[in-house]
Structure 1
Amino acid sequence: MASLLQVEGLTSGYGPVSVLKDVSLTVERGSITAVLGANGAGKTTLLRTVSGLLRPTGGQILFDGADLRSVRMEQVVRKGIAHVPEGRGVVAELTVDENLRLGGLWRRDRPDAAKALTEVYELFEPLARRRRSVGHQLSGGERQMLALGRALVARPRLLLLDEPSLGLAPRVTAQILGLLARLREQTGLTVLLVEQNVRSALSVADHGVVLSVGRVAMSAPAARLRDDDDLRHAYLGF
Protein backbone atom coordinates (compact mmCIF):
# COMPACT_ATOMS: atom_id res chain seq x y z
CA MET A 1 0.00 0.00 0.00
CA ALA A 2 1.49 3.38 -1.03
CA SER A 3 1.78 6.22 1.44
CA LEU A 4 -0.38 9.33 1.06
CA LEU A 5 1.19 11.39 3.85
CA GLN A 6 4.80 11.32 5.00
CA VAL A 7 5.99 13.43 7.92
CA GLU A 8 9.76 13.47 8.24
CA GLY A 9 11.74 15.03 11.10
CA LEU A 10 8.94 17.48 11.86
CA THR A 11 9.53 20.21 14.42
CA SER A 12 6.68 22.61 15.19
CA GLY A 13 5.13 24.60 17.99
CA TYR A 14 3.99 28.01 19.14
CA GLY A 15 6.42 30.92 19.00
CA PRO A 16 9.69 29.94 20.64
CA VAL A 17 8.20 26.78 22.18
CA SER A 18 8.72 23.59 20.16
CA VAL A 19 5.96 21.07 20.87
CA LEU A 20 6.87 18.51 18.19
CA LYS A 21 10.50 17.45 18.02
CA ASP A 22 11.80 15.42 15.09
CA VAL A 23 8.50 13.59 14.48
CA SER A 24 8.35 11.12 11.59
CA LEU A 25 5.37 9.02 10.57
CA THR A 26 3.71 7.58 7.47
CA VAL A 27 0.00 7.38 6.69
CA GLU A 28 -0.82 4.76 4.09
CA ARG A 29 -3.38 5.50 1.40
CA GLY A 30 -6.83 4.19 2.34
CA SER A 31 -5.93 3.58 5.99
CA ILE A 32 -6.86 4.91 9.42
CA THR A 33 -3.88 5.92 11.52
CA ALA A 34 -4.54 6.70 15.19
CA VAL A 35 -2.31 9.21 16.99
CA LEU A 36 -2.31 8.44 20.71
CA GLY A 37 -0.70 9.86 23.81
CA ALA A 38 -1.27 11.85 26.98
CA ASN A 39 -2.50 15.42 27.07
CA GLY A 40 0.29 17.73 25.98
CA ALA A 41 2.02 15.06 23.89
CA GLY A 42 1.65 17.12 20.70
CA LYS A 43 -1.24 15.33 19.00
CA THR A 44 -3.28 18.45 18.17
CA THR A 45 -0.14 20.34 17.17
CA LEU A 46 0.61 17.59 14.65
CA LEU A 47 -2.79 17.96 12.95
CA ARG A 48 -2.60 21.76 13.00
CA THR A 49 0.81 21.65 11.35
CA VAL A 50 -0.23 19.19 8.63
CA SER A 51 -3.31 21.31 7.80
CA GLY A 52 -1.30 24.54 7.55
CA LEU A 53 -2.63 26.25 10.67
CA LEU A 54 0.90 26.13 12.07
CA ARG A 55 4.16 26.51 10.18
CA PRO A 56 6.83 23.92 10.94
CA THR A 57 10.28 25.09 11.93
CA GLY A 58 11.95 21.94 10.67
CA GLY A 59 11.35 18.75 8.70
CA GLN A 60 9.04 17.90 5.82
CA ILE A 61 5.35 17.25 5.25
CA LEU A 62 4.83 15.35 2.01
CA PHE A 63 1.27 14.86 0.73
CA ASP A 64 1.18 12.54 -2.25
CA GLY A 65 4.82 13.52 -2.84
CA ALA A 66 4.25 17.31 -2.68
CA ASP A 67 5.89 19.33 0.11
CA LEU A 68 3.29 21.26 2.13
CA ARG A 69 5.66 23.34 4.27
CA SER A 70 5.17 26.58 2.33
CA VAL A 71 1.62 25.92 1.08
CA ARG A 72 -1.10 28.25 2.37
CA MET A 73 -3.91 26.69 4.37
CA GLU A 74 -6.56 27.27 1.71
CA GLN A 75 -4.34 25.54 -0.85
CA VAL A 76 -3.90 22.60 1.52
CA VAL A 77 -7.69 22.24 1.48
CA ARG A 78 -7.75 22.39 -2.31
CA LYS A 79 -5.18 19.61 -2.46
CA GLY A 80 -7.63 17.36 -0.64
CA ILE A 81 -6.95 17.67 3.11
CA ALA A 82 -9.84 18.39 5.48
CA HIS A 83 -9.32 19.19 9.16
CA VAL A 84 -12.01 18.69 11.81
CA PRO A 85 -10.57 20.36 14.93
CA GLU A 86 -11.23 19.52 18.54
CA GLY A 87 -14.36 21.33 19.69
CA ARG A 88 -16.15 20.62 16.39
CA GLY A 89 -15.96 24.13 14.90
CA VAL A 90 -19.64 24.47 13.97
CA VAL A 91 -20.85 27.99 13.11
CA ALA A 92 -23.54 28.32 15.77
CA GLU A 93 -25.53 31.05 13.98
CA LEU A 94 -25.88 29.12 10.69
CA THR A 95 -28.30 26.31 9.94
CA VAL A 96 -27.19 22.72 9.43
CA ASP A 97 -27.62 23.13 5.68
CA GLU A 98 -25.62 26.36 5.60
CA ASN A 99 -22.82 24.81 7.66
CA LEU A 100 -22.59 21.85 5.30
CA ARG A 101 -22.54 24.06 2.22
CA LEU A 102 -19.50 25.87 3.64
CA GLY A 103 -17.57 22.67 3.06
CA GLY A 104 -18.11 22.89 -0.68
CA LEU A 105 -17.74 26.64 -1.24
CA TRP A 106 -14.33 26.38 -2.88
CA ARG A 107 -15.34 23.56 -5.23
CA ARG A 108 -15.80 24.33 -8.91
CA ASP A 109 -17.69 21.11 -9.63
CA ARG A 110 -21.11 22.30 -8.47
CA PRO A 111 -23.09 19.18 -9.50
CA ASP A 112 -20.77 16.93 -7.50
CA ALA A 113 -20.82 19.34 -4.56
CA ALA A 114 -24.61 18.98 -4.51
CA LYS A 115 -24.25 15.21 -4.74
CA ALA A 116 -21.78 15.22 -1.83
CA LEU A 117 -24.28 17.21 0.26
CA THR A 118 -26.99 14.64 -0.46
CA GLU A 119 -24.63 11.81 0.49
CA VAL A 120 -23.84 13.46 3.83
CA TYR A 121 -27.54 13.70 4.66
CA GLU A 122 -27.84 10.01 3.84
CA LEU A 123 -24.90 9.21 6.13
CA PHE A 124 -26.21 11.34 9.00
CA GLU A 125 -29.97 10.98 9.20
CA PRO A 126 -30.24 13.22 12.31
CA LEU A 127 -28.82 16.08 10.25
CA ALA A 128 -31.32 15.49 7.47
CA ARG A 129 -34.13 15.85 10.00
CA ARG A 130 -32.64 19.06 11.38
CA ARG A 131 -31.29 20.73 8.27
CA ARG A 132 -33.06 24.01 9.09
CA SER A 133 -31.96 24.06 12.75
CA VAL A 134 -29.16 26.44 13.70
CA GLY A 135 -25.91 25.15 15.14
CA HIS A 136 -26.49 26.14 18.75
CA GLN A 137 -29.71 24.10 18.82
CA LEU A 138 -27.91 20.81 18.13
CA SER A 139 -26.78 18.20 20.64
CA GLY A 140 -23.08 17.46 21.07
CA GLY A 141 -23.37 14.36 18.92
CA GLU A 142 -25.21 16.25 16.19
CA ARG A 143 -22.57 18.99 16.19
CA GLN A 144 -19.84 16.39 15.77
CA MET A 145 -21.77 14.84 12.88
CA LEU A 146 -22.15 18.30 11.34
CA ALA A 147 -18.44 19.09 11.60
CA LEU A 148 -17.54 15.74 10.08
CA GLY A 149 -20.19 16.07 7.39
CA ARG A 150 -18.95 19.52 6.40
CA ALA A 151 -15.47 18.07 5.92
CA LEU A 152 -16.84 15.21 3.81
CA VAL A 153 -18.70 17.61 1.50
CA ALA A 154 -15.25 18.78 0.37
CA ARG A 155 -14.48 15.22 -0.85
CA PRO A 156 -11.17 15.02 1.04
CA ARG A 157 -8.46 12.53 0.22
CA LEU A 158 -7.10 12.87 3.76
CA LEU A 159 -9.26 13.60 6.80
CA LEU A 160 -7.58 15.01 9.92
CA LEU A 161 -9.91 14.33 12.85
CA ASP A 162 -9.12 15.67 16.32
CA GLU A 163 -10.80 14.09 19.38
CA PRO A 164 -14.19 13.23 17.81
CA SER A 165 -15.40 11.48 20.99
CA LEU A 166 -14.74 14.42 23.34
CA GLY A 167 -17.81 14.96 25.52
CA LEU A 168 -19.93 12.42 23.68
CA ALA A 169 -21.83 9.38 24.95
CA PRO A 170 -20.14 6.04 24.19
CA ARG A 171 -22.96 5.06 21.83
CA VAL A 172 -22.47 8.20 19.71
CA THR A 173 -18.71 7.72 19.73
CA ALA A 174 -19.13 4.16 18.47
CA GLN A 175 -21.40 5.39 15.67
CA ILE A 176 -18.92 8.03 14.50
CA LEU A 177 -15.88 5.76 14.60
CA GLY A 178 -17.85 3.01 12.91
CA LEU A 179 -18.72 5.46 10.15
CA LEU A 180 -15.01 6.20 9.63
CA ALA A 181 -14.34 2.50 9.18
CA ARG A 182 -17.16 2.21 6.62
CA LEU A 183 -15.94 5.25 4.68
CA ARG A 184 -12.46 3.78 4.59
CA GLU A 185 -13.83 0.51 3.19
CA GLN A 186 -16.35 2.03 0.78
CA THR A 187 -14.57 5.13 -0.53
CA GLY A 188 -10.89 4.62 0.28
CA LEU A 189 -10.84 7.66 2.59
CA THR A 190 -7.55 8.09 4.45
CA VAL A 191 -7.82 9.24 8.06
CA LEU A 192 -5.32 10.61 10.58
CA LEU A 193 -7.21 10.32 13.86
CA VAL A 194 -6.38 11.88 17.22
CA GLU A 195 -8.51 10.21 19.86
CA GLN A 196 -8.52 10.18 23.67
CA ASN A 197 -10.43 6.88 23.79
CA VAL A 198 -7.54 4.54 23.03
CA ARG A 199 -9.57 1.33 22.91
CA SER A 200 -12.10 2.80 20.49
CA ALA A 201 -9.41 4.30 18.27
CA LEU A 202 -7.46 1.06 18.02
CA SER A 203 -10.66 -0.87 17.24
CA VAL A 204 -11.01 0.96 13.89
CA ALA A 205 -7.40 1.95 13.13
CA ASP A 206 -4.95 0.09 10.94
CA HIS A 207 -1.89 1.66 12.54
CA GLY A 208 -1.11 3.47 15.77
CA VAL A 209 1.46 6.15 16.55
CA VAL A 210 2.14 7.02 20.19
CA LEU A 211 3.47 10.51 20.95
CA SER A 212 5.22 11.28 24.22
CA VAL A 213 6.43 14.81 25.04
CA GLY A 214 6.48 15.75 21.36
CA ARG A 215 8.32 12.70 20.09
CA VAL A 216 7.27 9.38 18.56
CA ALA A 217 7.54 6.79 21.33
CA MET A 218 6.01 3.90 19.38
CA SER A 219 4.69 3.17 15.89
CA ALA A 220 3.08 -0.19 15.23
CA PRO A 221 0.08 -1.92 13.66
CA ALA A 222 -3.05 -1.16 15.68
CA ALA A 223 -3.67 -4.85 16.35
CA ARG A 224 -0.22 -5.16 17.96
CA LEU A 225 -0.79 -2.15 20.21
CA ARG A 226 -4.23 -3.46 21.09
CA ASP A 227 -3.24 -7.06 21.86
CA ASP A 228 0.26 -6.79 23.34
CA ASP A 229 -0.14 -6.31 27.10
CA ASP A 230 3.43 -5.10 27.61
CA LEU A 231 3.12 -2.44 24.90
CA ARG A 232 -0.23 -1.26 26.18
CA HIS A 233 1.02 -0.90 29.73
CA ALA A 234 4.25 0.80 28.68
CA TYR A 235 2.84 3.29 26.16
CA LEU A 236 -0.92 3.56 26.64
CA GLY A 237 -1.46 3.09 30.34
CA PHE A 238 -4.05 0.31 30.31
Structure 2
Amino acid sequence: MSADLLAVDGLVAGYGAAPVLHAVDLRVPAGTITAVVGANGAGKTTLLRTLSGMLRPTAGRVLLDGEDLRGTPVEQLVRRGMAHVPEGRGVIGELTVEENLRLGALWRRDRTDAARALDEIYQLFEPLARRRRHLGHQLSGGERQMLALGRALVARPRLLLLDEPSLGLAPRVVAQTMALLRNLRDNAGLTVLLVEQNVRSALAVADQGVVMSLGRVVTTAPADRLRDDADLRHAYLGF
Protein backbone atom coordinates (compact mmCIF):
# COMPACT_ATOMS: atom_id res chain seq x y z
CA MET A 1 0.00 0.00 0.00
CA SER A 2 1.10 3.60 -0.59
CA ALA A 3 2.89 5.74 1.98
CA ASP A 4 0.65 7.56 4.40
CA LEU A 5 -0.50 10.99 3.27
CA LEU A 6 -2.27 11.64 6.58
CA ALA A 7 -1.06 10.47 9.99
CA VAL A 8 -2.94 11.18 13.21
CA ASP A 9 -1.41 10.33 16.58
CA GLY A 10 -3.08 10.53 19.98
CA LEU A 11 -5.64 13.13 18.91
CA VAL A 12 -7.81 14.56 21.68
CA ALA A 13 -10.46 17.19 20.89
CA GLY A 14 -13.94 18.27 21.85
CA TYR A 15 -16.20 21.18 22.67
CA GLY A 16 -15.50 23.26 25.75
CA ALA A 17 -14.29 21.09 28.61
CA ALA A 18 -15.90 17.91 27.24
CA PRO A 19 -13.57 15.77 25.09
CA VAL A 20 -15.17 13.92 22.20
CA LEU A 21 -12.08 12.31 20.66
CA HIS A 22 -9.92 10.18 22.93
CA ALA A 23 -6.36 9.46 21.75
CA VAL A 24 -7.35 8.77 18.15
CA ASP A 25 -4.69 7.20 15.93
CA LEU A 26 -5.30 7.07 12.19
CA ARG A 27 -3.37 6.42 8.99
CA VAL A 28 -4.61 7.32 5.50
CA PRO A 29 -2.42 5.98 2.67
CA ALA A 30 -1.97 8.21 -0.36
CA GLY A 31 -4.26 7.46 -3.31
CA THR A 32 -6.82 5.53 -1.27
CA ILE A 33 -10.30 5.97 0.17
CA THR A 34 -10.60 5.48 3.92
CA ALA A 35 -14.14 5.22 5.29
CA VAL A 36 -14.74 6.25 8.91
CA VAL A 37 -17.90 4.54 10.12
CA GLY A 38 -19.76 4.11 13.38
CA ALA A 39 -22.95 5.02 15.20
CA ASN A 40 -24.19 8.57 15.74
CA GLY A 41 -22.11 10.21 18.44
CA ALA A 42 -19.01 8.16 17.66
CA GLY A 43 -16.96 11.31 16.97
CA LYS A 44 -16.69 11.04 13.20
CA THR A 45 -17.69 14.61 12.36
CA THR A 46 -15.59 15.97 15.23
CA LEU A 47 -12.62 14.13 13.76
CA LEU A 48 -12.98 15.85 10.38
CA ARG A 49 -13.57 19.24 11.99
CA THR A 50 -10.38 18.85 13.99
CA LEU A 51 -8.33 17.72 11.01
CA SER A 52 -9.52 20.68 8.92
CA GLY A 53 -8.74 23.27 11.60
CA MET A 54 -12.33 24.05 12.58
CA LEU A 55 -11.59 22.68 16.07
CA ARG A 56 -8.29 22.94 17.90
CA PRO A 57 -7.09 19.68 19.49
CA THR A 58 -6.04 19.63 23.11
CA ALA A 59 -3.49 16.86 22.53
CA GLY A 60 -1.96 14.81 19.75
CA ARG A 61 -0.65 15.70 16.32
CA VAL A 62 -1.77 15.68 12.70
CA LEU A 63 0.77 15.19 9.91
CA LEU A 64 0.03 15.84 6.25
CA ASP A 65 2.73 14.29 4.10
CA GLY A 66 5.01 14.36 7.13
CA GLU A 67 4.40 18.03 8.00
CA ASP A 68 2.91 18.87 11.39
CA LEU A 69 -0.31 20.86 10.94
CA ARG A 70 -0.68 22.11 14.53
CA GLY A 71 -1.45 25.83 14.55
CA THR A 72 -1.77 26.02 10.76
CA PRO A 73 -4.43 28.55 9.58
CA VAL A 74 -7.26 27.12 7.50
CA GLU A 75 -6.16 28.93 4.33
CA GLN A 76 -2.71 27.37 4.68
CA LEU A 77 -4.26 23.94 5.07
CA VAL A 78 -5.98 24.50 1.72
CA ARG A 79 -2.70 25.56 0.14
CA ARG A 80 -1.02 22.46 1.55
CA GLY A 81 -3.62 20.30 -0.19
CA MET A 82 -6.48 19.64 2.24
CA ALA A 83 -10.14 20.32 1.41
CA HIS A 84 -13.15 19.72 3.64
CA VAL A 85 -16.76 19.21 2.52
CA PRO A 86 -18.70 19.47 5.80
CA GLU A 87 -21.90 17.75 6.78
CA GLY A 88 -24.81 19.65 5.26
CA ARG A 89 -22.58 20.62 2.31
CA GLY A 90 -22.16 24.31 3.18
CA VAL A 91 -23.37 25.69 -0.15
CA ILE A 92 -24.08 29.43 0.09
CA GLY A 93 -27.63 29.78 -1.15
CA GLU A 94 -27.42 33.50 -1.93
CA LEU A 95 -24.48 33.02 -4.34
CA THR A 96 -24.61 31.58 -7.84
CA VAL A 97 -23.13 28.22 -8.74
CA GLU A 98 -20.13 29.93 -10.30
CA GLU A 99 -19.61 32.23 -7.32
CA ASN A 100 -19.69 29.23 -4.98
CA LEU A 101 -17.13 27.44 -7.13
CA ARG A 102 -14.85 30.47 -7.24
CA LEU A 103 -14.77 30.47 -3.45
CA GLY A 104 -12.98 27.14 -3.70
CA ALA A 105 -10.17 28.82 -5.63
CA LEU A 106 -9.91 31.76 -3.25
CA TRP A 107 -6.55 30.69 -1.83
CA ARG A 108 -5.07 29.50 -5.13
CA ARG A 109 -1.95 31.40 -6.18
CA ASP A 110 -2.01 30.15 -9.77
CA ARG A 111 -4.97 32.04 -11.24
CA THR A 112 -4.60 30.48 -14.68
CA ASP A 113 -4.81 26.97 -13.28
CA ALA A 114 -7.71 28.04 -11.05
CA ALA A 115 -9.67 29.00 -14.17
CA ARG A 116 -8.72 25.69 -15.78
CA ALA A 117 -9.89 23.82 -12.67
CA LEU A 118 -13.24 25.61 -12.87
CA ASP A 119 -13.70 24.44 -16.47
CA GLU A 120 -12.83 20.90 -15.41
CA ILE A 121 -15.54 20.96 -12.73
CA TYR A 122 -18.12 21.98 -15.34
CA GLN A 123 -17.03 19.05 -17.49
CA LEU A 124 -17.19 16.69 -14.51
CA PHE A 125 -20.60 17.96 -13.34
CA GLU A 126 -22.58 18.89 -16.44
CA PRO A 127 -25.72 19.93 -14.49
CA LEU A 128 -23.64 22.66 -12.82
CA ALA A 129 -22.50 23.96 -16.20
CA ARG A 130 -26.12 24.33 -17.27
CA ARG A 131 -27.03 26.10 -14.02
CA ARG A 132 -23.92 28.16 -13.41
CA ARG A 133 -25.94 31.37 -13.03
CA HIS A 134 -28.54 29.84 -10.71
CA LEU A 135 -28.43 30.59 -7.00
CA GLY A 136 -27.39 27.86 -4.59
CA HIS A 137 -30.84 27.66 -2.98
CA GLN A 138 -32.39 26.94 -6.38
CA LEU A 139 -30.51 23.65 -6.78
CA SER A 140 -31.73 20.16 -5.97
CA GLY A 141 -30.10 18.16 -3.18
CA GLY A 142 -28.02 16.21 -5.67
CA GLU A 143 -26.91 19.39 -7.44
CA ARG A 144 -25.92 20.97 -4.12
CA GLN A 145 -23.80 17.91 -3.40
CA MET A 146 -22.14 18.29 -6.79
CA LEU A 147 -21.50 21.96 -6.04
CA ALA A 148 -20.00 21.27 -2.63
CA LEU A 149 -17.71 18.62 -4.10
CA GLY A 150 -16.84 20.82 -7.05
CA ARG A 151 -15.95 23.76 -4.82
CA ALA A 152 -13.55 21.53 -2.86
CA LEU A 153 -12.02 20.05 -6.01
CA VAL A 154 -11.35 23.47 -7.56
CA ALA A 155 -8.64 23.85 -4.93
CA ARG A 156 -6.95 20.75 -6.39
CA PRO A 157 -6.60 18.99 -3.03
CA ARG A 158 -4.43 16.00 -2.36
CA LEU A 159 -6.64 15.03 0.58
CA LEU A 160 -10.44 15.39 0.54
CA LEU A 161 -12.30 15.23 3.87
CA LEU A 162 -15.89 14.36 3.06
CA ASP A 163 -18.60 14.33 5.74
CA GLU A 164 -21.88 12.46 5.12
CA PRO A 165 -22.15 12.99 1.33
CA SER A 166 -25.20 10.71 1.08
CA LEU A 167 -27.26 12.63 3.65
CA GLY A 168 -30.76 13.24 2.29
CA LEU A 169 -29.97 12.04 -1.23
CA ALA A 170 -31.78 9.51 -3.37
CA PRO A 171 -30.05 6.11 -3.73
CA ARG A 172 -29.27 6.82 -7.39
CA VAL A 173 -27.45 10.03 -6.49
CA VAL A 174 -25.59 8.28 -3.66
CA ALA A 175 -24.38 5.63 -6.10
CA GLN A 176 -23.22 8.34 -8.53
CA THR A 177 -21.35 10.13 -5.75
CA MET A 178 -19.55 6.98 -4.66
CA ALA A 179 -18.67 6.14 -8.27
CA LEU A 180 -17.21 9.63 -8.65
CA LEU A 181 -15.01 9.16 -5.58
CA ARG A 182 -13.75 5.87 -6.97
CA ASN A 183 -13.00 7.54 -10.31
CA LEU A 184 -11.12 10.42 -8.66
CA ARG A 185 -9.04 7.95 -6.67
CA ASP A 186 -8.25 5.77 -9.66
CA ASN A 187 -7.66 8.45 -12.29
CA ALA A 188 -6.59 11.55 -10.37
CA GLY A 189 -4.83 9.93 -7.42
CA LEU A 190 -7.06 11.74 -4.92
CA THR A 191 -6.90 10.60 -1.31
CA VAL A 192 -10.27 10.60 0.47
CA LEU A 193 -11.20 10.41 4.14
CA LEU A 194 -14.92 9.64 4.03
CA VAL A 195 -17.29 9.88 6.99
CA GLU A 196 -20.54 8.16 6.11
CA GLN A 197 -23.65 6.82 7.85
CA ASN A 198 -24.46 4.68 4.80
CA VAL A 199 -21.99 2.02 5.87
CA ARG A 200 -22.64 -0.39 3.00
CA SER A 201 -22.00 2.28 0.36
CA ALA A 202 -18.93 3.58 2.17
CA LEU A 203 -17.28 0.19 2.58
CA ALA A 204 -18.15 -0.76 -1.00
CA VAL A 205 -16.04 2.11 -2.36
CA ALA A 206 -13.33 2.27 0.32
CA ASP A 207 -9.95 0.60 0.47
CA GLN A 208 -9.91 0.53 4.25
CA GLY A 209 -12.40 1.15 7.02
CA VAL A 210 -11.98 2.75 10.41
CA VAL A 211 -14.64 1.91 12.99
CA MET A 212 -15.20 4.50 15.72
CA SER A 213 -17.22 4.21 18.92
CA LEU A 214 -17.56 6.84 21.66
CA GLY A 215 -14.67 8.90 20.35
CA ARG A 216 -12.21 6.06 20.00
CA VAL A 217 -10.98 3.95 17.09
CA VAL A 218 -12.22 0.41 17.65
CA THR A 219 -10.51 -1.16 14.67
CA THR A 220 -8.91 -0.41 11.32
CA ALA A 221 -8.99 -3.03 8.58
CA PRO A 222 -9.42 -3.52 4.83
CA ALA A 223 -12.95 -2.53 3.86
CA ASP A 224 -13.88 -5.96 2.52
CA ARG A 225 -12.80 -7.57 5.78
CA LEU A 226 -15.05 -5.23 7.75
CA ARG A 227 -17.97 -6.03 5.43
CA ASP A 228 -17.44 -9.74 6.07
CA ASP A 229 -16.98 -9.50 9.87
CA ALA A 230 -20.52 -10.16 11.11
CA ASP A 231 -19.70 -9.77 14.81
CA LEU A 232 -18.09 -6.36 14.28
CA ARG A 233 -20.92 -5.17 12.04
CA HIS A 234 -23.58 -6.20 14.54
CA ALA A 235 -21.70 -4.65 17.47
CA TYR A 236 -20.79 -1.28 15.97
CA LEU A 237 -22.39 -0.74 12.56
CA GLY A 238 -25.97 -1.88 13.00
CA PHE A 239 -26.30 -4.37 10.14
Instruction: Name the TM tier (shorter chain).
Output: over 0.9
- Measure, in 1, the Cα distance between the counterparts of 2:71 and 2:18: 20
Show the counterpart of 2:28. 27
CA offset at residue 230 of structure 1?
Answer: 2.5
Show the counterpart of 1:186. 187
In the alignment, structure 1 residue 108 sits paired with structure 2 residue 105:
no
- Measure, in 2, the Cα distance between the counterparts of 1:232 and 1:86: 24
| TM-score, scaled to structure 1 | 0.98
Local SS of the residue matching 2:92: coil
- Measure, in 1, the Cα distance between the counterparts of 2:155 and 2:70: 22
Map 1:26-175 → 2, pairs under 5 A: 26-175=27-176
Instruction: List, as ranges, runs of 4+ consecutive aligned residues in structure 1 with deviation greater than 6 Å.
Output: none
- Measure, in 2, the Cα distance between the counterparts of 1:7 and 1:232: 24
Local SS of the residue matching 2:87: coil
CA offset at residue 222 of structure 1?
Answer: 0.3
For 2:8, the aligned partner's letter is V
| TM-score, scaled to structure 2 | 0.98
Number of paired residues?
238
- The Cα offsets for residues 191-229 of structure 1, whole Å up to 9 and x where unpaired, read as 000001000000100010011000011111001011222
- Measure, in 2, the Cα distance between the counterparts of 1:74 and 1:16: 27
- Measure, in 1, the Cα distance between the counterparts of 2:129 and 2:227: 36
Local SS of the residue matching 1:105: coil
Larger CA deviation: 12-21 vs 71-80: 71-80
Local SS of the residue matching 2:106: coil
Does the 8 Å CA contact 1:218/1:235 hold for their aligned counterparts? no
In the alignment, structure 1 residue 236 sits paired with structure 2 residue 220:
no
Show the counterpart of 1:214. 215
- The Cα offsets for residues 60-92 of structure 1, whole Å up to 9 and x where unpaired, read as 101111111211112111111000000110111
Local SS of the residue matching 1:93: coil
Instruction: Give the CA RMSD over aligned residues.
Output: 0.8
- Measure, in 1, the Cα distance between the counterparts of 2:109 and 2:69: 22
- The Cα offsets for residues 2-33 of structure 1, whole Å up to 9 and x where unpaired, read as 00000001000011010000000100000000
- Measure, in 1, the Cα distance between the counterparts of 2:165 and 2:229: 25
CA offset at residue 139 of structure 1?
Answer: 0.5
- Structure 2 residue runs of 5 or longer lacking an equivalent are none
- Measure, in 2, the Cα distance between the counterparts of 1:17 and 1:202: 30
- Measure, in 2, the Cα distance between the counterparts of 1:171 and 1:2: 33
Does the 8 Å CA contact 1:181/1:204 hold for their aligned counterparts? yes
Does the 8 Å CA contact 2:75/2:107 hold for their aligned counterparts? no
Local SS of the residue matching 1:192: strand
For 1:2, the aligned partner's letter is A
For 1:99, the aligned partner's letter is N
Does the 8 Å CA contact 1:95/1:133 hold for their aligned counterparts? yes
